[in-house]
Amino acid sequence: MRFRHRAAAGFATLLLPLAGLVGLAAPAQAASTATATYAKTQDWGTGFEGKWTVTNTGSTSISSWTIAWDFPSGTSVTSAWDADVTSSGTHWTAKNKSYNGTLAPGVSVSFGFNGTGSGSPSNCTLNGGSCDGGTSVPGDNPPSAPGTPTASSITDTSVKLSWSAATDDKGVKNYDVLRDGKVVSTVTATSYTDTGLTAGSDYSYTVQARDTADQTGPASGAVAVHTTGGTTTPPTTGDKVRLGYFTEWGIYGRNYNVKNLVTSGSAAKITHINYAFGNVTGGQCAIGDSYADYDKAFTADQSVSGVADTWDQPLRGNFNQLRELKAKYPNIKVLWSFGGWTWSGGFAQAAANPAAFADSCYNLVNDPRWADVFDGIDIDWEYPNACGLSCDTSGAAAFKNVMAALRAKFGTSKLVTAAVTADGSAGGKIEAADYAGAANYVNWYNVMTYDFFGAWDAQGPTAPHSPLTSYSGIPKAGFTTADAIAKYKAIGVPASKLLIGIGFYGRGWTGVTQDAPGGTATGSAAGTYEQGIEDYKVLKTSCPVTGTVAGTAYAHCGSNWWSYDTPSTIAGKMSWAKSQGLGGAFFWEFSGDTSNGELVSAINSGLS
């Protein structure tokens, strides 16, 4: 799909030199009678102030001390005082100054530093031993995940949670109880009663353990709780799929957050979300944008829950916002989509070893930090054994082999889907791969029935980018929704496994003089983010509809000519999809819609 150019958001960490840093001396005696604790004393968004405190808990003096720890990538020290701090990659070391190395029994000393990033330290050692005062075994592992909590005694305003204990090499100190991703209490027992809830509301609970050095382990599995009373019930959408793409980069220039799905009313009218995109590189599934995915801190007004993210919570970013959305709308399923126009070049190496690829995807999607967020995986390979941004020569069987491996790894309890070409022309992309064979392993195909025509043909002829049917003068036969669906049916793909695609944007030319399709042009019309493309929410007022052709709309304003779908044309396409027995509809993507979600509403109503 030509539209899926990933907007790269650059994030660079400024590493400032540390004044007066010195080489690290040989380690002092093992700290079997001392502890080191860490605290973040200030956080100003772009940076923070941290403090380490060393305490002599023994009965004899300590003559020197050295603390070592790891920061996650992106977190670093920019200046320090009362200690000499050095680093090697993500591993940091602090050595006492000449004036504060000796500690009498019971005495503590602290040093501070300024840093960038948001990560917390891990793998702390003090003089080669554990920072929580253990023996001289290097390092201190964080605790394991507690058992998934069980809910009981649910009332209108409260719920009792119980879980099995976590384990730790030095001992578990207490547990953080998280409601919708936010810590609501810290307890020493393996049970907690949460109160002050809202009747008839949905919540999601997880638990994480803290060890004696205050290290947090991974969160447990999540338990969904619906309080009694109230009048809210899950939305009823029938048996048709209503799926929208949410782009990880939309939170930047577009300022479109997961919360907008709630404020627009769209969350109540969909069944599934495809989160786009994960990368495909080195034959494996990989993170697309770690900052957007799980690190960005959302403010209270940006957050689904209305509560601001904190620096020390175990999961932030879009993933946590999706978790909060699912707590409010338990019927919504979320799939992680991998590939897209920009990253489809990596599928060739994945296809060379489908089992290894499937293993990597399974491990990433089911990472304990966000396993409860995702209900399956979507593959957006543009295009198997054909050309997209690059040309693939993996062979006709490659796509089927990849989908078979994913189904074998993910099992039947998870969704496995794919975005596929809508090229219904003779000898076109549908014929290049074994889509019929692969259909045995997928829940459905998202047929990309848009981007048939656009201003990459700079001189035209002008043509609607998402025609439902053919029409007199269409530039290329077979480039319609009806032709694509008919071809998939003809090769044996069940209609119930085919979703019709809707673009929440238009494509346009400039230098056009005639209203009707088929006119000549001089190039791409100007767009907010990319030439030749514009959101529906802009076009509906900046270039209103002139007419319709082949089940979609077009608009001629000044010298510009655009084509796009409207609530009216979407209603017609949904009626057609139902008449064809299709499994539902999907769209690219949420941020192109109006603030009150009128295109999502049209899809929902049309499929009802």
Identify the CA nearest to 570 among candidates 446, 420, 468: 468
Q: Name the helix (H) or strand (E) containing 523.
A: strand 523-524
CA 362 from centroid of its chain's CA atoms: 15
Q: Are 469 and 481 in contact, with CB atoms under 8 Å apart? A: yes
Question: Which residue reads 């084509």 in tokens?
Answer: 563
H runs (alpha helix) in 514-596:
536-542, 567-579
Q: Are 585 and 604 in contact, with CB atoms under 8 Å apart? A: no
Instruction: Let me know if 382 is a catalytic residue.
Output: yes
Identify the CA nearest to 351 among candidates 293, 290, 438: 438
CA–CA separation, 585 and 499 (whole Å): 5
Q: Is 318 exposed, middle or buried (0-12, 13-18, 19+ CB in 10 A)?
A: buried
Marked catalytic residue, from 248, 324, 382, 431 = 382
Q: How many CA atoms within 13 Å lie on the side-chain side of 255? A: 4
Which three-class secondary structure state does DSSP give residue 584? strand
CA–CA separation, 511 and 245 (whole Å): 32
3-state secondary structure 410-439: HCCCCEEEEEECCCCCCCCHHHHCCHHHHH
Task: Take residue 524 and report the two structure tokens written for it.
Answer: 């791409």
Q: Residue 412, Cβ neighbours under 10 Å: how many?
A: 8
225 to each of 165, 315, 328, how far by Cα in Å? 21, 20, 10
CA 314 from centroid of its chain's CA atoms: 15
Which three-class secondary structure state does DSSP give residue 345? helix
Q: Residue 418, Cβ neighbours under 10 Å: how many?
A: 26
Residues contacting residue 391 through CB under 8 Å, at least 6 positions apart? none
Q: Are 82 and 40 in contact, with CB atoms under 8 Å apart? A: no
Task: Take residue 503 and report the two structure tokens written for it.
Answer: 């673009």
Q: How many CA atoms within 13 Å lie on the side-chain side of 386? A: 21
Cα torsion 120, 255, 503, 514: sign: negative
Q: Is 492 exposed, middle or buried (0-12, 13-18, 19+ CB in 10 A)?
A: exposed
Straight-line distance from the first to the last Cα atom of the chain, in angstroms, rounded to the nearest whole number: 28
Q: Residues for the chain: how many in total? A: 608
Identify the CA nearest to 327 among candidates 422, 432, 203: 203
Active site residues: 382
